Structure 1
Amino acid sequence: MAIDTTFRCPVARRQQGLRRLLAQFAPLALLMGLAACSSLGASGPSGSELRRGQSASVTADIRVIDLTDKLARRMIDAGHSQTFAAALGEVAPAGTRIGRGDVLDVAIWESPPAALFGTLGGDVGLSKGPSLAPKATSLLEQMVGEDGKINIPFVGSLVVAGRTPQQVARDVEARLAGKAHEPQVIVRVTQPVTSLVTVVGDVSTSTRIPLTAKGERLLDALAGAGGVKQPIGKVTVRITRGTQVVAQPLEQVLLDPRQNITLQAGDVITALYQPYSFTALGAVRNSAEVPFEGTGLSLAQGLGRIGGLDDNRANVRGVFVFRLEDPAILGPDLVSGARLTPDGRVPVIYRLNMSDPGSFFVAQGFALRDKDVVYVSNAPLIDIQKFIGIVSQTAFSIIGIANQVR
């Protein structure tokens, strides 16, 4: 028995020492867990950090704006003002006006017996033949000069730029009265250099299309260029008219006949392949870049496409949309005094509280835009749950080690 006791005492002493070491290590493990609580993994900023709207990496002022029904309505109205019909409006057919550089053909008819411009065929001189047929003369084609004038024999210099061919014909007839016998005049634009629109981009054939008195419209020009090469739902049409530049999805033009506006001379139509998308991050079921159609997508539809919020992690009061917004859309009351980005935009975070039943109606009226970021923050208790998980794992590890050394 003495031998056994001598053998077991050192083993017992080592076990007791290890237990004391584990007992000392347990508080240290808890402290480490508490320290780790401030750096637990996350997919983005918390809801409180977003509400403060502070950032060290963005020089412009970030505006955090609650998404309300009033704001959604204002943004819908602002979106309507960016359509072709609202921004450019309807104009008179551009093809009826003569411009500088256009080439004109002037034909003059006279009744016998006298013919100021000669016999049929255009010979200059008086016609003394017995024929009773009207005498017609087609003058040489003329290009409208920089001064907007052309010259016609026995008429002189005539301003034609900015006038219709019918107006010019009546003016020529009036000036020939008393010189020619019952003159009748027809003026045609044979080369409409100035009454052209340019169609470029993702079309079958980039081309220049002349405008006529018919009043060609946007879809006429696209059809004249052979149509677009990409799916209609992913094409944006941009019209440049002078200093104005307005863009709109092609599908909206097809669905709303008012957007198929009459073109003006000098318009540049650009068809752009632009697949729209937004990015979903945070406590959602599916973080991804989500494409959508050119006709638009509401926030409610966007959340539906990513499977909605993650029930186990999401803060229903913390649904945020990040966007670089046009100050004109927000209005002076929301951007007063704000520092803008170099391109004149305002960094805006729209916040939606989905614990309010009315927020679902607001989400239906709020349209997502290309390159928007939809972020859902974690619920406040998620970090506590993560900390409890770390402490539990640490405690179970200590208990397991202690059981092994008994």
Structure 2
Amino acid sequence: MALFAVLSGLSACGLPRSGPTKGEIRAGSVEEQGDTFIVPVTAQVARATAMVPPLGFTNGFLGAGVIGSDVIRPGDVLGLTIWENVDNGLLAGPGMNSTALQEMQVDGDGFIFVPYAGRIQAAGNTPEALRRIITEKLDAQTPDPQVTVARIAGDGATVSVMGGVGGQGVYPIERPTRTLSAMLAKAGGVIIEPEIAQIVVTRGHHTGRVWLKDLYSNPQFDVALRPGDVILVEKDQRNFTAIGATGAQNRVHFETQELSAIEAIAQVGGLSTNAADPTGVFVLRDEDPATANTVLGRTDLIGPQRVAYVLDLTEPSGLFNARDFMIRDGDTVYVTEAPYTRWQKLLGALTGAAGSANSLSKAAGN
């Protein structure tokens, strides 16, 4: 009894530990007048909570048709090259028969100025139509002129591509790059690991997000682009927090689109062999009311609910349930310490205190 009293006293003094015990967590349950629902994970619970919030585009993105991207718009930047079939042409310098007119921006009224051809309306024409117009204008002044017109990045029908791509920049919407996947290819492709790469498209005040793998597997996500779109390629930003008797205690980013509880534990180095209680693995979550009502068999819950899901890995189906239970963004995975670990700490503290007292006694005797 005396030993038990000493151990209890040491425990009450607060020996170091990684967090609350199973009993202390359960003391905060709704059944004990707390605010947390304690839910053991079964196969049914794993199925009810397995929904991973999907990514995708709204109808505003999906319903947008492919634009006539070859039509020149105000703000576009054009590159012109003019060949003349004479030695001393109107535009070419001595010994040259071609002239490059680069970065000619279409003004707000839709016009460009070409020497000896004058002010020409470019907006509303395709590059081919504009080529013919310029050729006709110059034909009266130099024999058999040859003209090429190319659209390059400018303030007109362009999109911005940034983030994890081979070449960030501003790219024109042209015939080969009218859709999202084609524009990504034009920008050098995605350099982030495909499993965790997400594509974010911002159009005005609206934003859509899709997984890269879904973009290529589902054609409807290959949306038509619009001038001014901003395309961002980034890594999956979801994360969970691992604390307690695990191999590592940290905030951890998802490495796959779907992450099960058993994978999350493995991702942080597994359970601590010398300290973890495999019957007390908790997943703490603010659960949405629909799922909380389903899991708890209720219909009256409104708003997010604090739920502590409990995994017992020693049960016959415990590992299967942990494999099927999906972790969500913002979850906390907490592994409690085994009871014997706490007793070891108490005994260690007791023997340490006794050893110190013995040393002091011997020192006093000397």
Residue 223 of structure 2, aligned match among 262, 267, 285: 262
SS of the residue 1:95 aligns to: coil
What's the counterpart of residue 219 of structure 1? 181
Residue 233 of structure 2, aligned match among 271, 275, 279: 271
Amino acid at match of 1:263: A
Q: CA deviation at 1:377?
A: 0.6
Counterpart CA distance in 2 for 1:32 and 1:87 is: 68
SS of the residue 1:386 aligns to: helix
Given that residues 180 and 225 in structure 2 are in contact (C-alpha distance below 8 angstroms), is that contact kept between their aligned partners in structure 1?
Answer: no
Q: Decide whether aligned partners of structure 1 residues 318 and 253 sit closer, same or farther in structure 2, where only a CA change above 3 A counts.
A: farther
Q: CA deviation at 1:198?
A: 3.8
Counterpart CA distance in 2 for 1:277 and 1:229 is: 21
Provide the aligned length of Structure 1 versus Structure 2. Answer: 285
Amino acid at match of 2:259: L
**Aligned: 1:298 with 2:260:** yes
Counterpart CA distance in 2 for 1:360 and 1:141 is: 67
Counterpart CA distance in 2 for 1:197 and 1:346 is: 45
What's the counterpart of residue 19 of structure 2? 44
Residue 247 of structure 1, aligned match among 209, 212, 215: 209
Q: CA deviation at 1:370?
A: 4.7
Residue 350 of structure 2, aligned match among 391, 394, 406: 391
Amino acid at match of 2:335: V
What's the counterpart of residue 56 of structure 2? 84
Given that residues 46 and 324 in structure 2 are in contact (C-alpha distance below 8 angstroms), is that contact kept between their aligned partners in structure 1?
Answer: yes
Q: CA deviation at 1:53?
A: 4.2
For residues 291-322 of structure 1, the C-alpha deviation after alignment (integer angstroms, 9 at most, x for no partner) is: 54253432212222333222332221211223
Given that residues 93 and 216 in structure 1 are in contact (C-alpha distance below 8 angstroms), is that contact kept between their aligned partners in structure 2?
Answer: no
SS of the residue 1:368 aligns to: coil
Counterpart CA distance in 1 for 2:197 and 2:122 is: 42
For residues 135-174 of structure 1, the C-alpha deviation after alignment (integer angstroms, 9 at most, x for no partner) is: xxxxx7776xxxxxxxxxxxxxxxxxxxxxxxxxxxxxxx
TM-score between both structures, scaled by the size of structure 1: 0.53
Given that residues 219 and 260 in structure 1 are in contact (C-alpha distance below 8 angstroms), is that contact kept between their aligned partners in structure 2?
Answer: no
Unpaired runs of 5+ in structure 2? 76-120, 125-150
Given that residues 67 and 224 in structure 2 are in contact (C-alpha distance below 8 angstroms), is that contact kept between their aligned partners in structure 1?
Answer: no
Alignment of 1:21-32 (within 5 A): none
What's the counterpart of residue 44 of structure 2? 70
**Aligned: 1:312 with 2:281:** no
Given that residues 234 and 274 in structure 1 are in contact (C-alpha distance below 8 angstroms), is that contact kept between their aligned partners in structure 2?
Answer: yes
Q: CA deviation at 1:37?
A: 0.7
What's the counterpart of residue 114 of structure 2? none
Q: CA deviation at 1:65?
A: 3.6
Unpaired runs of 5+ in structure 1? 1-26, 104-139, 144-189
Residue 65 of structure 2, aligned match among 93, 96, 104: 93
SS of the residue 1:94 aligns to: coil
Amino acid at match of 2:15: L
Counterpart CA distance in 2 for 1:251 and 1:382 is: 45
What's the counterpart of residue 113 of structure 1? none
What's the counterpart of residue 311 of structure 2? 352
**CA RMSD, aligned part only?**
4.8
Amino acid at match of 1:262: V
For residues 169-204 of structure 1, the C-alpha deviation after alignment (integer angstroms, 9 at most, x for no partner) is: xxxxxxxxxxxxxxxxxxxxx9xx9x9674443143
What's the counterpart of residue 170 of structure 2? 207
What's the counterpart of residue 131 of structure 1? none
Amino acid at match of 2:46: A
Q: Decide whether aligned partners of structure 1 residues 265 and 317 sit closer, same or farther in structure 2, where only a CA change above 3 A counts.
A: same
Q: CA deviation at 1:43?
A: 0.8
Counterpart CA distance in 2 for 1:218 and 1:61 is: 46
What's the counterpart of residue 334 of structure 2? 375
Given that residues 279 and 288 in structure 1 are in contact (C-alpha distance below 8 angstroms), is that contact kept between their aligned partners in structure 2?
Answer: yes
Higher-Rg member (1/2): 1
Identity %: 26
TM-score between both structures, scaled by the size of structure 2: 0.58
Q: Decide whether aligned partners of structure 1 residues 329 and 228 sit closer, same or farther in structure 2, where only a CA change above 3 A counts.
A: farther
For residues 47-78 of structure 1, the C-alpha deviation after alignment (integer angstroms, 9 at most, x for no partner) is: 123234469xxxx95554433333433444x3
For residues 1-39 of structure 1, the C-alpha deviation after alignment (integer angstroms, 9 at most, x for no partner) is: xxxxxxxxxxxxxxxxxxxxxxxxxx7x98665333121
Counterpart CA distance in 2 for 1:365 and 1:271 is: 30
